[in-house]
């Protein structure tokens, strides 16, 4: 718990962070930019879990443990996504989503 900061403020912050990430994911055309937006979304959830744990259910550890796993999995996901982006870069010569257009309809 932090003195002087209420749970509403933290929840507003994480919700804003989440939707900024979602907006970025949907509007970015660069694959790396999309990946960064994805990280924003996942980080907002990690903050969410820790804040709920500390403010609402102090003394239990479920939320904090959950956020640890989120951080680990976000790293794994990013590593794999970067590897695949590298593959796309080898094939098309760019990391722009507009180049990834063979499969449609």
Q: Residues binding another protein: what is the number (CB under 8 A)?
A: 41
Rounded least distance, CB 66 to another protein, Å: 6
CB of 43 to another protein, least distance (A): 10
Fill in the per-residue mask, 30 to 69: x = in contact with another protein (CB under 8 A), - = not in contact: -x--xx--x--xx-xx--xx--x---xx--x-xx-xx--x
**Cα–Cα distance list, 58 to 14, 49, 54 (Å):** 19, 12, 5
Residue 14 burial class via C-beta count within 10 angstroms: exposed 0-12, middle 13-18, buried 19 and up: buried
Task: Report, in Å, the least distance between residue 37 CB and another protein.
Answer: 9
């Amino acid at each position: 718990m932090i003195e002087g900061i209420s749970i509403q403020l933290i929840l507003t912050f994480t919700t804003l962070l989440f939707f900024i990430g979602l907006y970025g994911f949907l509007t970015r055309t660069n694959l790396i930019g999309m990946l960064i937006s994805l990280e924003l979304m996942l980080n907002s959830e990690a903050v969410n879990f820790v804040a709920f744990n500390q403010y609402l259910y102090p003394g239990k550890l479920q939320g904090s443990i959950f956020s640890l796993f989120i951080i680990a999995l976000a790293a794994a996901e990013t590593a794999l996504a970067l590897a695949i982006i590298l593959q796309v870069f080898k094939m098309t010569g760019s990391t722009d989503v507009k180049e990834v257009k063979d499969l449609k309809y």
